[in-house]
Amino acid sequence: MDLANPVATVVKDVPEKKSAPCLELSDGTFLDHLRIYYYSLFPFKLFQRWLSYDGVQKNYFLFRELSFTLASDAYLRFQSFKDEEELKQEIWRLCPVKIDIGAVYNSKPKDRKSVKPAAFQPQERELVFDIDMTDYDEIRTCCSGASICLKCWDFMTISIKVLDSILREDFGFKHLLWVFSGRRGVHCWVCDESARKLPAEARRAIVSFIEVVKGGEQQSRKVNLPNHLHVSLLRSLRTVDAYFNKSILEKQAPLDDRSRWSKILQLISDEGIRNTLDARWAKDGGWSSRDRWGDLETEIAEATSKKASKRGGLHNVARDIKFQYTYPRLDDHVTTGLNHLLKAPFCIHPVGNVCVPIDPADCENFNPLTVPKLYDLVRQIDEFNAANPDSVGVPDYAKTSLKPHMERFENFVNALSEEQREKLRAQRTREDRMMNAQ
């Protein structure tokens, strides 16, 4: 490969206007294209600006752990770099198939062996959340495992809306970077200074506040909320209600046949109601999930009108089922562990998808099936150059479908930088006033 012009070297053999194949790590073409991506498209400057927070403190980027997974399956932890250029040169040299981001330590991670283990400790890390579609396999009916479609992607849409609102409204965080994981989930990076400095205990407290769906595979009813909901849950319930009919009842059809509706009936503590609904639904096979849900709500409302039937939380069961079928399901270990690693934005998933940022305000229009793909990006650069031979100064990302995603990331980093500048200006003003007062 001619790395002076890697695009021309590889793309000459790519048929024009061909839909992107599913590239895998075992395919040599994947690594050829990945190398081009790192040379031409990966946002090294923005990446370093983000993780250094414009030098919020000395050695912040230098003490940050990055890890690389190579095509050989070699896993290189505790990598660290002094600046953008050093990071870029190493990634160009290694061509990692995955980049993970860790904590900021109290010394250079790559030199950790030169200090006592107890002296090498994580100091700061973004507050991060990982939501994976496989955690919804017990309730989604359209797909399972690694497979996703637009029907079940609504689980991610609802999760983004609910969690984004909680983090902003209840905790006051402002700088939230939502990122597509590359295949079947989303990550959230809370980058406010106050979030980065949170100890593990505070992170556990935040998870505890957010978590609603609790219990293992053997537990049927995983949501048991009190009669009177916290204002945060009331706000979340409005989002849940807005999506439940279409996203759950219509798209997932959880009450269309007995194998599905039996899972929901198990969540009702009253055996009489369970038997009544099961018999009625089995008798009338023409009902939709919407019809049966309406019947369930009516049956419960009639039962709860009798004072004795309010035992066992029956009067809240319909509401709690809605939460169980829609609410974010968090991997709490990712959030609470300061030394836990999380995949970096703009990584390339083995299927070829780019891990692009998601706009939470417009997440309902995000399509995980049409995100920029490695194969297409390389072709798009070649096609742009062929169609615009006299173009000068156009960055390669602007020649591709990656452009709006890169601009979203740049706007996010710029907002962080502007806040840091405002803090420095305010600090100087305070210092000037103190000097003038002396």
3-state secondary structure of 83: coil
Is there a contact between 13 and 316 (Cβ–Cβ < 8 Å)? Answer: no
Active site residue 65: yes
Is there a contact between 67 and 315 (Cβ–Cβ < 8 Å)? Answer: no
Q: Render 125-152 in DSSP notation, one character per residue.
A: --EEEEEEGGGGTTT-SS--TT---HHH
The residue written with tokens 């919020």 in the block is 56
Is there a contact between 409 and 43 (Cβ–Cβ < 8 Å)? Answer: yes
Is there a contact between 125 and 66 (Cβ–Cβ < 8 Å)? Answer: no
- Which of 32, 65, 126, 382 is an active site residue? 65
- Which of 100, 124, 126, 130 is an active site residue? 130
Active site residue 132: yes
Burial of 30 (0-12, 13-18, 19+ CB in 10 A): buried
- Which of 124, 126, 132, 192 is an active site residue? 132
Q: Which two tokens stand for residue 14?
A: 């790519």
3-state secondary structure of 201: helix
CA distances from 374 to 162, 358, 402 (A): 31, 18, 10
Is there a contact between 49 and 417 (Cβ–Cβ < 8 Å)? Answer: yes
Question: In which order are the strands placed within the sheet that holds 127-132?
Answer: 127-132, 185-190, 176-180, 357-358
- CA pair distance 41, 39, nearest whole angstrom: 6
Element (H, E) at 185: strand 185-190
In this structure, what DSSP letter does residue 178 have? E
- Adjacent-strand bridge partners of 104: 64, 124
Active-site amino acid positions: 65, 130, 132
